[in-house]
Amino acid sequence: MADLETYRNKRDFSRSPEPRGRRRRQRAGSAEYVIHKHDASRLHYDLRLEDEGVFRSWALPKGPSLEPGEKHLAVEVEDHPLDYGKFEGVIPEGYGAGTVMVWDRGEWRVTGKHDDGQIDLELEGEKLKGAWTLKRMRGRGGGKEDGKQWLMIKRHDEKGARVPGSLDDLSVDSERSMARIAEEEGGSESADRDSSSKSSSRSSSSQSPANESKASSQRASDKRKATAATENKLPDVSQMEGACKTKLPKEPAAQLATLVDEAPTGDNWFHEIKFDGYRILTRLEKGRAQLITRNGHDWSERFPEITQAMNELSLQSALLDGEVVALRRDGISDFRSLQRSLSEEKTGKLVYQIFDLLYLDGVDLRDTPLHERKRLLATLFEALNLPKRTPLRYTDHVEGQGREFFEEASRKGLEGVVSKRADAPYRGRRNRDWVKTKTERQAEFVVGGYTDPQGSRAGFGSLLIGAYDNGKLRYCGRVGAGFSNAQLREWERTLSRSRRKTSPFVERDIPDAKVTHWVTPKRVIDVNFSEWTHDGRLRHPRFRGIREDRDPKDIELEQQRGPSPSGETSMADAQHPGRPGGGAKAEANGKHSGSGQEAGGKRKHESGKVAGVKLTHPDRVLFKEGEITKQDLAEFYAAQADWLLPGLIERPLTLLRCPGGIDADCFVQKHPSDTTPDNLPSVRIKEKSGSHDYLYVRHIGDVIALAQLGSIELHVWNSRIDDLERPDQLVFDLDPAPDSDWQDVIDVAHALREALAELELTAFLRTTGGKGLHLVVPLKPLADWDTAKAFAEAVCQRCADKQPDKLTLNMSKQARRGKVFLDYLRNGRGATAVASYSVRAKPVAPVATPVRWGDLGSSLRPDGYTIDNLPRRLASLKRDPWDGFEDARQALTKKRCRDAGMEV
C-alpha cells in the first residue's frame, strides 16, 4: 500500500527544499517515471515509478542497466510524493544530503508481470527507451531477506538499451550540470521557505526590484549577443534569389493546399507530413512574437508556452509558417487531444511544427523558391541552438518519391501528405503549388441548423451542415455522432443564441425541416465520413472537433469534396449496389461485393496491400474450409469499413489472434506486445494488477494492421476511451445449451426485449456468429460499471423467474442443460463482447451481424452470415438494421433501476 509517512518522518521540511507532498488519486492514462541523479554520501541514481498515486522508488548504486542481459542492484526505498518528480536542488545536511538532478523523465508501462516480486516494464523517456525487469532478490532459503534488494535487468528489445549518445550529465528539465545546480541552489538553506509552494527551479533567494531590473537588463544583453551570434552563422539573406528588403508584413496570409487524388511524382516536389492541428503564422517584431491563425486571429495567449519560446529566440524580426499540434506517444498528431488541451488550458505539451520561413531580419523571402527557404530554415534552427525541451520543431521533408511517402503515411496512420513544388514562391492563397493527399475522408463544414433530440438524448439530435458553392450554402447532410454529453449540452446553449427564422441553405427541401432550428452560419466543424452519396450527402459522418481558426466563407464545397481517392468510387459502388448510385456494374459482372471473389468463386489477389497496409504472407490460409486467406480477411474488413467502424472505433479491444489459421494455435491479446506496430493507438487503463495499455482503433487502416497480425475476432468494451468508467451500452448474451431448441432462443429474445421495453429501453438484435444472439441496448453514459452490471443482472433475473424452464443465469453445465444461458456478465468493467461485423474464428468465417427484429425466425441462424455472403446482404439493404441506435440512448435512472428490481 502506498504510504508517505516514512518519507515525511525522515525529513525536516523546515530546512530541506524537498516537497512535503501528498498521495494523489491514481491518474487515468499514462504513468510517469523519473530518474534522479543524487550526489549524496555516494553518487547514485534513483528510479521512481508512478504507482497508486505516489512514486515507488529504488536507489541504483551503479545507475540503470543499459546492455541487454545486464543486471544492476536496485535497493527499494520509501515511496516519494509525485511532487518529487519536479524537484531539483540541494538537500542540506541530514537525511539524503547532496545535489539532486532530474536526470531523465518520461512514461512507463507494465508489459508483463506486476506483482510483489517482479515488474516487467517499458520506459519511454528523454534518455532511456526500452524494456527492463525489476526482480526482487531472495535469500538462500527462499525468503525475501529484508525485501529491499532487487535487480534491474535490461531486456532485449528493438529499441536498444542506452541513451542517445552517452550518459550525459545534464538535467532534462533545466539543462544544468550537477556542478551548476550545486552552485545555483546551494545557498538556499538559510532562506525562508514555504514548503507548499517550492519550485524545482527557484533561485537561491528572492530578488529585490533593483536586482530584478538588473537581471532583466542582463537577459536583454544576453539576447542581443545571442542574436548577433545567430546572424553570424547565417548567409546574407538579402542576396538570396527573390529576396526583397522591406517592412515586416502586418497581416500575412497563409498559403493553402489543394486537395488532390494522388501525391505528385517527380523530383521537383517536397513532401511533408500533413499535421492534424491549428495552422499558425508567427510574426516576430522587435523580438516579440504574435501567433496568428489562418483567418487572422491573434492566438498568442492561447499558446503561452509556444509564444514564450518564440520570444526567447535570438531573432529580432521574422515571419514563420507552421502548425500547432498535440503529439501522441507514437509521434502522430491528434486533433482531439489538441482541442482538449485548449479547453482545459493545459497547453504545456503542445508542439509548433515550423515548415516555412517567409521573412527574416528585414528581408521578405516569399518570392524565394521553396528549396532555398527550407534550406535557410534548417540552417536557422541549427544556429539557434534550441534547448532540448523546446516546443519548437523543424519540419523536415522528403524530396521526390511522393507515392512511396504517401503509402508510408497511410501505413503509419497519419492524416495525409502535403506536397509542395520545390521551385515555387510562397503565395498567400490556395493554388496547386501546394497540394494535399489524405489517407482518410475528412473535411470541414459550416453549421446551418440543428434538430431536436429524440428520446432522452440531451442537447440536440444532429447538426445540419453544408459548404459554400458560388457564395451559396449547399446542404451536405447531418452529423450526430462523435459528441460527448457535455458537448451536446454546450453546443445547444451556444447555437440557441444564434437562431434565425429562415434556412441559410439554398435548398428548399431539407430533411426533418419540421423539427429543425436554423442558425446563422458562423461555426465550422471538422468531420470524418465514409463517402459522398450521389446526391451530395455525407455517409456516416462523425464529429471530430470545432475549427475556430476557419472563416465559414472559406469553406468551399469544391475543396471539401475534392477528388475521390483512387479506387474509392468503385469500392463504394461494389459495397452498396442496392443504394442510390451503387453497384449495378458490380452486380452485372457477377462479383460478390467486397468479398474479393469472382463469379466462379476464385479469389483474385492484385497485391499484398490493403488500405495502405502491407500484408506479409497475404495468401496464408486462415480458414481451410473455403480457403479464406489473410488478404481475404483484410479485404472484407476494408470493404465493410463503414458498417464495421461505428461500433468499433475508440473502444478498448480484446483480440483473438490466429496467425497460423484457426486450426493452429490461437490466443487472446489485450495489451500491445513486441510485435504490435508502434503506430497502433493504445489507452492506459488502471486495473487491480497495475496500469496496462489497451489497443483501440481510429480508422480502417488500424483494423487492417490488426488483420496483418492474424487478428480475426475483435471484441470491444461497452465504453469508449474518452469516458472509460461509464458504459454507453449493455450487451445481453443468449447462449443456448447444445440440446436446447432454437425456438426457445427466439422466445427468450422476444421476452427479454419486452422486459427492456417495459423499462423504456430499446434493444437491438445481433447474431453472434457462434451459437446464440446478442441484445444490445444503447445508453447515455451516465451510470458507472457497478450500476450497469447490477441493472443487467436484475433484468435477466426477472426474465428467468418468468421462464425457469427455458432460461437460466447459472453458468454451470448441469444447470444449463436444455436451457438458454442468459449472460449479463458482459456488462462488468473490462468485460467485452464481439463487435458488430467482426469475423469469428470458426469454420467458413461467420460474422457477428446486426439484424432487424423482423428477421428473427426459424430461418435465421446465428452463424448464417459469413465473410462470403454477408456483403451481398448488406448491398441489398436500404436501411441500416440498427437505424435509430443513437437516438434510442436512455439513462439508467434511479427509477428505472428500481423498476428493474434493483435496490437503490
Q: Where are the domains of the chain?
A: 5-191, 238-438, 442-561, 607-716, 729-830+839-900
Q: How far is CA 331 from CA 227, 334, 681, 797, in A?
A: 31, 9, 11, 49
CATH architecture of 442-561: Beta Barrel (2.40)
Assess whether the region 442-561 and the region 607-716 belong to the same CATH fold.
no
CATH topology for 729-830+839-900?
A: DNA primase, PRIM domain (3.90.920)
Q: Report residue 662: phi and psi, to 5°.
A: -70, -15
Whole-number Å distance between alpha carbons of 280 and 310: 13
Whole-number Å distance between alpha carbons of 289 and 317: 9
Whole-number Å distance between alpha carbons of 629 and 769: 19
**Contacting residues for 386 by C-beta, under 8 A, at least 6 apart:** 392
Specify burial of residue 239 (Cβ count, 10 A radius: 0-12, 13-18, 19+): exposed
Specify burial of residue 858 (Cβ count, 10 A radius: 0-12, 13-18, 19+): exposed
Whole-number Å distance between alpha carbons of 635 and 675: 22
Q: Which tens digit of pLDDT belongs to each residue from 236-265? A: 888 999 999 999 998 899 999 988 878 998
Whole-number Å distance between alpha carbons of 466 and 474: 5
CB 137 within 8 A of CB 151: yes
| Active centre residues (catalytic) | 274
Strand locations in 535-587, DSSP E? 538-539, 542-546
- Tell me, what's the pLDDT at 161? 43
Whole-number Å distance between alpha carbons of 645 and 540: 10
State CA 564 to chain mean position distance. 26
Strand locations in 52-202, DSSP E? 54-60, 71-80, 89-91, 98-114, 118-125, 129-136, 149-154
Return the C-alpha torsion angle 310, 311, 314, 320, nearest 10.
40
Beta bridge partners of 167: none
Q: Which tens digit of pLDDT belongs to each residue from 319-355? A: 999 999 998 766 788 887 888 888 888 899 999 999 9
Q: In one letter, which amino acid is 266?
A: G
Helical axes 370-384 vs 209-233, angle rounded to 10°: 140
Q: Report residue 542: phi and psi, to 5°.
A: -145, 130
Q: Report residue 47: phi and psi, to 5°.
A: -90, 130
Whole-number Å distance between alpha carbons of 730 and 833: 10
Scan for cell 553570424, then name that residue. 232
**Contacting residues for 100 by C-beta, under 8 A, at least 6 apart:** 36, 37, 38, 39, 87, 88, 89, 90, 91, 181
- Tell me, what's the pLDDT at 2? 62
Cell of 606: 492484385
3-class SS letters over 765-800:
EEECCCCCEEEEEEECCCCCHHHHHHHHHHHHHHHH
Q: Is the dihedral angle over the CA atoms 359, 364, 370, 372 positive or is it negative?
A: negative
H-state helical runs in 385-484: 402-411
Among 121, 149, 148, 116, CA closest to 133: 121
Q: What is the DSSP letter of 374?
A: H
Q: In one letter, which amino acid is 551?
A: D
Whole-model pTM: value is 0.43
CATH architecture of 607-716: Alpha-Beta Complex (3.90)
* Vertex 529 angle, CA 523 and 533, to 5°: 105
- Tell me, what's the pLDDT at 480? 83
Q: How far is CA 781 from CA 454, 791, 892, in A?
A: 16, 14, 9
Q: In one letter, which amino acid is 314?
A: S
- Tell me, what's the pLDDT at 413? 65
Scan for cell 444449463, then name that residue. 816
Q: Indicate the pairing of strand 773-778 with strand 288-293.
A: unpaired
Whole-number Å distance between alpha carbons of 347 and 869: 50
**678: how many CB neighbours lie within 10 A of its CB?**
13
- Tell me, what's the pLDDT at 581? 30
Whole-number Å distance between alpha carbons of 359 and 279: 17
- Tell me, what's the pLDDT at 568? 34
CATH architecture of 238-438: 2-Layer Sandwich (3.30)
N-term to C-term CA, the chain: 32
H-state helical runs in 699-784: 700-708, 742-758
Scan for cell 423498476, then name that residue. 899
Q: In one letter, which amino acid is 821?
A: F
Whole-number Å distance between alpha carbons of 337 and 781: 20
Among 872, 408, 825, CA closest to 599: 872
CB 414 within 8 A of CB 273: yes
CB 528 within 8 A of CB 477: no
With H, G, I as helix, E, B as strand and everything else as coil, classify residue 375: helix
Among 777, 822, 790, CA closest to 898: 790
CB 30 within 8 A of CB 107: yes
Residues lower than pLDDT 70 in the chain: 1-2, 25-30, 139-146, 158-169, 186-232, 329-330, 411-413, 455-457, 485, 511-515, 530, 562-608
Cell of 594: 467486397
